[in-house]
Structure 1
Amino acid sequence: MSHHRALRATVLATAFGAAGLLGAGIASAHVTANIYGAEPQKGGSGAIVFRVPNEEADAGTTKVEIDIKPEYGISSVRYKPVPGWTAEVVKTTLPTPVKDGKNLDVTEPVTKVVFTAQPGSGIAKGESQFQEFEITAYSLPSNVDELVLPAIQTYDNGQVVNWDQVEAPGGEEPEHPAPTVHLAAASSGDGHDAHTASTSTTGEAASTTSADTTARWLGGAGLVVGALGLGAGAGAVLRSRRTAK
């Protein structure tokens, strides 16, 4: 098999594999909490994106509620505006303060974020659309490895689906699993690792540029030497012809 045919076969196999994964994802569509980028750390802040697919053939989604446990002690939540939707951050006053990820007392933690579709908006009926709702939470708890963030999905026909079931260790995925987010261990570097990575990347770029410049210089020198050699060879041929005459 030629190189081009092998490459083509690899590309086709990858495409079919991706299509299979995509099909499996659509078939088991749930409300999920996703992290796009670095994993949030305990005691820090994190951007969480809730992906909400519509799963009813004859009804569209008009409200999405995200429940946040008060014991997490999350004192601040911001949301990214979604066109056609309004949002509300709900806090609850507790009789006894809880500790946040910085070991500070919190008496009014955030306990819910509600996204409501405006008239004429929402996630359309059927199974072809989804919407993403992004929030940023601070400070994340330091005493848990995973955030469990139940979601409530309301349809325009009055149907309500609670995504609040927690999967048992080693068990099968429940019918309506709660969105979850894993928390990484707190870093003591305070961004040092990111700075190091940036410096390393810059160093690699500089090294690449230097190597490229050297290669171009050597290439140019090679051309000059080649031209001189060609001229010398041509001169030798002419001299030999004159001598023969």
Structure 2
Amino acid sequence: MRSITSRRLAVSAVLATSVVLASAVPAFAHVTVQPGTAAQGGYTAIAFRVPDESDTASTTKLEVNLPTDHPVASVATQPLPGWTVAAEKTKLAAPIKTDDGDEITEAVTKITWTADAGTKIAPGQFQEFRVSLGPLPTDTDKVVFKALQTYDDGNVVRWIDESAAGQPEPAHPAPVLTLTKAASEGAADGHQMTATAQAAPAASTSSSDSTARTLGIVGIVVGVIGTALGVLGLRRRSGSQS
């Protein structure tokens, strides 16, 4: 009877561990925007973080589509050794008016990074593709970037699904940049990336806090398992002595 009870305790501890770890460790395998927030109307620098999810194939191309319903007038890419980048522009249905009174009639709507010979994102690795853009829209609370990730085995993963409030996250969510209200009128200078300066430390702090919480939970779970196994061992010894 004691042996059965001990086994039940051990099984319960293992099940508890599985549930806690499943809820504590977030999914890092999606293509995401880093940092994930910026101020409306400002300029910022972001990075598209691309992990390689395949066990056997490597990533050799990334295509990012910028929204045409909320176009961005200025888009610049940061050179990345080993990758060739190309930006495609599209004529806008409605011109964008700049702070200087000029009109922008076309905007970048697609950016493609292609790996040079000998370059790739191998399984278990990730790469970041950096872009500077602005001014960001003021009539929406997010910018959705639909991305296509191509592997060297011909497989293409389409990160284009938009998440809906109250619904489970889709299998291949599109990268999203959340836009927040500017601190005050005129606070965002068109030639300064204040949003990035504010968002980057916050993202770093959030990441550190998340890591600390995860490690703390893992430590608690390990302690629970150790206690359960210790009880199991003591009861076995007690049973054998009797």
TM-score, normalised by the number of residues in structure 2: 0.63
Paired residue for 1:167?
163
Query: Which residue among 130, 137, 146 is the counterpart of 2:133?
Result: 137
What is the rounded CA distance, in whole Å, between the counterparts of 1:170 and 1:153 in structure 2?
27
| 8 A Cα contact 1:97 1:105, kept in partner | no
Q: Which amino acid aligns with 2:64?
A: I
What is the rounded CA distance, in whole Å, between the counterparts of 1:57 and 1:64 in structure 2?
18
| 8 A Cα contact 1:151 1:162, kept in partner | yes
Paired residue for 1:147?
143
| 8 A Cα contact 2:63 2:149, kept in partner | yes
Displacement after TM superposition at 1:89 (Å): 1.6
| 8 A Cα contact 2:98 2:104, kept in partner | no
Paired residue for 1:29?
29
| 8 A Cα contact 1:72 1:141, kept in partner | yes
Per mean C-alpha deviation after superposition, the further-off stretch among 65-74 and 111-120 is 65-74
Displacement after TM superposition at 1:35 (Å): 1.2
Paired residue for 1:227?
none
Deviation digits for residues 90-116 of structure 1 (CA, Å, limit 9, x no counterpart) = 11123x324468697432011011111
What is the rounded CA distance, in whole Å, between the counterparts of 2:73 and 2:42 in structure 1?
12
Query: Which residue among 50, 59, 62 is the counterpart of 1:61?
Result: 59
Q: Which amino acid aligns with 1:24?
A: V
Paired residue for 1:176?
172
What is the rounded CA distance, in whole Å, between the counterparts of 1:110 and 1:49 in structure 2?
16
Paired residue for 1:11?
none
Displacement after TM superposition at 1:191 (Å): 6.1
Higher share in strand: 2
CA RMSD of aligned residues (A): 2.8
Query: Which residue among 83, 86, 90 is the counterpart of 2:84?
Result: 86
What is the rounded CA distance, in whole Å, between the counterparts of 1:82 and 1:57 in structure 2?
25
What is the rounded CA distance, in whole Å, between the counterparts of 2:50 and 2:97 in structure 1?
28
What is the rounded CA distance, in whole Å, between the counterparts of 2:95 and 2:26 in structure 1?
38
What is the rounded CA distance, in whole Å, between the counterparts of 1:25 and 1:132 in structure 2?
19
What is the rounded CA distance, in whole Å, between the counterparts of 1:100 and 1:42 in structure 2?
16
Local SS of the residue matching 1:58: coil
Q: Which amino acid aligns with 1:72?
A: H
What is the rounded CA distance, in whole Å, between the counterparts of 1:77 and 1:191 in structure 2?
17
TM-score, normalised by the number of residues in structure 1: 0.62
| 8 A Cα contact 1:100 1:141, kept in partner | no
What is the rounded CA distance, in whole Å, between the counterparts of 1:177 and 1:74 in structure 2?
22
Paired residue for 1:214?
none
| 8 A Cα contact 2:52 2:59, kept in partner | yes
**Same amino acid, percent of matched pairs:** 41
Deviation digits for residues 178-222 of structure 1 (CA, Å, limit 9, x no counterpart) = 000111113325269x8xxxxxxxxxxxxxxxxxxxxxxxxxxxx
Unaligned 5+ residue runs, structure 2? Answer: 1-20, 195-242
| 8 A Cα contact 2:51 2:127, kept in partner | yes
Does 1 or 2 have the higher relative contact order (CA < 8 Å, sep 6+)?
2
Query: Which residue among 68, 90, 109 is the counterpart of 1:70?
Result: 68
Greater Cα radius of gyration, structure 1 or 2? 1
What is the rounded CA distance, in whole Å, between the counterparts of 1:141 and 1:114 in structure 2?
22
1:107 aligns with 2:108: no
